[in-house]
Amino acid sequence: MEWFRKVLDPEWAVTPAGGLTGEAYFAEKDDKRLFLKRNSSPFLAVLSAEGIVPKLVWTKRMDNGDVVTAQEWLAGRALRPAEMKLQHVTDLLHKIHQSTELLHMLVRLGKKPITADDRYHAIMKRLNKNQIRHASHEIQEGVSYLETNLSIARQERQTVCHGDMNHHNLLLTDDSRLYLIDWDNAMIADPIADYGMVLNSYIPKEEWNSWLEKYGVQMDNQLLIRMYWYLIADALSFLSFHYERDEQDKFDERLRSLQALNSQMGLL
């Protein structure tokens, strides 16, 4: 029997919500609509209280120790790529990065800050293990950039970061509320790991300065160096990920994106 049958009566219509784990479902009964998930992080309660994710309706512990959460299932859609420039997105990111409540909860849950040194050493270990550190000029150039600018990448406070800032994870409801969902990659790190991804993926370069001003920081050369440092670190991590899974097409695609980043950083 499916686990959700143990927390809902049979009158609820339940359908899979998709995803890789198969741990999430939509449930509907009369005019009530819920999003159910098994073994969500306790972090969800604070995100709900802060208005960053849809409201947490209830939490139930099952006999086997699993925890089921029910959130509001809201009518809405994912943001379109062009909408990532909206002030709502900037404001939501700033709120997350400034929240002491979110930070304290992640610390209580045992999350440790991920420093630039942590990222660098993890990437080098993985590249060496896979024997691809010297596999291409692009990889060697990316590694060289990380090594040369590690001291600059260290120079920032650490906050709660979402870790996967793409438009699919931003839910715009039919009544114009904006939520950031899918917090499985939450971490304590340099916030540029989040907003650098937004800038590079969605914001035209001529608008970077104005976007950053709305977010609350000033653009300078060291900020750009840090931003590219984390983007290159991500690219190298994904190269190892796809290599380990023998996904040659995706590996080649990531290599091309790394080449583009290497070209951009040469202009700094």
**Local confidence band at 1 (pLDDT 50, 70, 90 cut-offs):** very low
Q: Is 3 exposed, middle or buried (0-12, 13-18, 19+ CB in 10 A)?
A: middle
Residues 6 or more apart whose Cβ sits within 8 Å of residue 213: 219
Question: pLDDT value at position 174?
Answer: 94
pLDDT at residue 28 above 80?
yes
In this structure, the number of other CB atoms found within 10 A of the CB of residue 214 comes to: 14
Which residue in 31, 164, 190, 194 is the catalytic one?
A: 164
pLDDT tens string 56-88:
999 888 878 888 889 998 989 999 999 999 999
To the query of whether residue 164 is one of the catalytic residues in this protein, the response is yes
Q: What is the mean pLDDT of the chain?
A: 91
If pLDDT is split at 50, 70 and 90, which confidence band does 109 have?
very high
Q: How far is the C-alpha of 61 from the C-alpha of 41, rounded, in Å? A: 13
128-to-59, 123, 131, 171 alpha-carbon distances in Å? 44, 9, 5, 39
pLDDT of residue 18 exceeding 80 = no
pLDDT in tens, 140-196: 999 999 999 999 999 878 999 999 999 999 999 999 999 999 898 899 999 999 999
Q: Is the pLDDT of residue 39 over 90?
A: no
Is residue 25 over pLDDT 60? yes
Confidence at residue 268, expressed as pLDDT on a 0 to 100 scale = 55
> Across the chain, how many H-helices and E-strands are there?
10, 10
Structural domains in the chain plus CATH codes: 3-73 (3.30.200), 78-265 (3.90.1200.10)
pLDDT (average), residues 119-137: 95
pTM of the model: 0.87
Mean pLDDT of 237-258: 94
* DSSP secondary structure, 168-195, as one string: GGEEEETTS-EEE---TT-EEE-THHHH
Q: What is the pLDDT of residue 13?
A: 86
> Which runs of E-coded beta strand occur in 67-169?
67-72, 76-78, 159-161
Q: What is the structure's pLDDT at 17?
A: 80
Identify the band that residue 15 occupies on the pLDDT scale cut at 50, 70 and 90.
confident
Instruction: Determine what percent of the chain is predicted with pLDDT higher than 90.
Output: 74
